[in-house]
Amino acid sequence: MTQRTITMLVVSILLGMLIVSQVKTFELINSTLARENTDNIFQQLKILKGKNDALRQEVSKLESNLSQLFNKESALAIVKSEINELMKLEGQVGVFGEGVVITFDGNIGSELMTDMLNELFNAGAQSVTINGLRHTTTTAGFDLLPNRQIFYAGQILTPPITFAGIGDSKKIMEILDSQGGIISRIKDSNKDMAIQVEARSVIQMGSTTQNSAFVD
């Protein structure tokens, strides 16, 4: 593999990930603006600002990686690292780390399920499961069945509905619990529903063919 080929491969991978992340973020904001009130719009703009800060960090990482491409060994290590990150996003490998677990004792509906998933990622979650099912880059969205059940990743989700996200638990919980955040919106829409939000020191998520587990 030539130096030029390595450089082009690394740049393509990193820029591709940045572009996809930015596009998904703006799609989330646009869909939210279309149906949410003013308080929630400000909450989403706050999340967008945080996401843009994260993108700036990714750009800085990209610049740092490019400076190492003159060394073939470093370049190959970068390629290997980025491939590993893509495998995590696609659910091909297991992951673990601190994070949060959110449990609802009832069905919150497909739109709020989608918002919950998106807000977890925008709050900094690196990987997410719903009732133990790993969300990946190829997972379809939530479908509402005629009897109001939720169909996701080839299965019907039955309460309790449990979201788990790996990432900085303090930061994620702060965003989820903030005024106008997803938790308060779900509480407003489901007055009698019990909702439990917990920080976990270790969350283990298997690949798409393995089980997930929570460890205190």
182 against 47, higher pLDDT: 182
* pLDDT value for 138: 80
Average pLDDT over residues 5-11: 56
64 against 144, higher pLDDT: 144
Q: What does R_g of the chain's alpha carbons equal in angstroms?
A: 19
Model pLDDT for residues 25-77, shown as the tens digit of each residue: 555 555 555 555 544 555 555 555 565 666 667 666 666 666 665 566 666 66
- % of the chain with per-residue pLDDT over 70: 54
Average pLDDT over residues 9-37: 53
Which own/partner contact pairs does 120-123 have at CB distance under 8 Å and 24+ positions apart? 120/163, 120/165, 120/172, 120/176, 121/165, 122/25, 122/28, 122/47, 122/48, 122/50, 122/51, 122/175, 123/47, 123/50, 123/165, 123/167, 123/171, 123/172, 123/175, 123/176
- % of the chain with per-residue pLDDT over 90: 32
CATH topology of domain 95-215: Alpha-Beta Plaits (3.30.70)
195 against 212, higher pLDDT: 195
Is residue 129's pLDDT more than 60? yes
- Cβ atoms of 116 and 164 within 8 Å: the answer is no
Average pLDDT over residues 187-210: 88
42: how many CB neighbours lie within 10 A of its CB? 13
Average pLDDT over residues 127-140: 88
Is residue 195's pLDDT more than 90? yes
* pLDDT value for 209: 60
Model pLDDT for residues 70-102, shown as the tens digit of each residue: 566 666 666 666 666 666 666 667 888 999 999
45 token code pair: 């703009």
Phi, psi of 105 (to 5 degrees): -85, 10
pTM for the full model? Answer: 0.64
Q: Cis before residue 160, ω within 30 degrees of 0?
A: yes
* pLDDT value for 41: 53
* pLDDT value for 34: 53
Average pLDDT over residues 171-179: 90
